[in-house]
Amino acid sequence: MTTHLKPSPEFLLEVAELLVASLNLDVSPSDIQPEAPLFGEGLGLDSIDILEVALVVSKRYGFQLRSDNQDNIQIFRSLENLAAHIAAHRTL
């Protein structure tokens, strides 16, 4: 995975809003901690949720998150990692 800059608070909130809206999460986007895990103890996402996020990201930001990417564990580790990856690869 390429090194990344820390995403802005505004972009973190944008990605958090995307997660909440696309997955119908019962949490406020501003309550999602940037470093908290997206899986398990954090938001509790599962593999089906990640597929949905990947679809929404491709539509909104113009690039695909591929299931065969060996960096996916790191990309989806936290909101901050996901937002940084999107910011580095977005085309829209």
| Strand, coil or helix: 75 | helix
What is residue 78's three-state secondary structure?
Answer: strand
pTM: 0.91
Architecture field, domain 9-25+37-89: Orthogonal Bundle (1.10)
Q: What is the dihedral of CA 23, 5, 1, 62, to 10 degrees?
A: 50
Q: Residue 67's closest CA among 52, 84, 88, 81?
A: 52
> Both tokens of residue 31?
């309550």
**Domain range annotation of the chain:** 9-25+37-89
Q: Which residues of the chain have pLDDT under 50?
A: 1
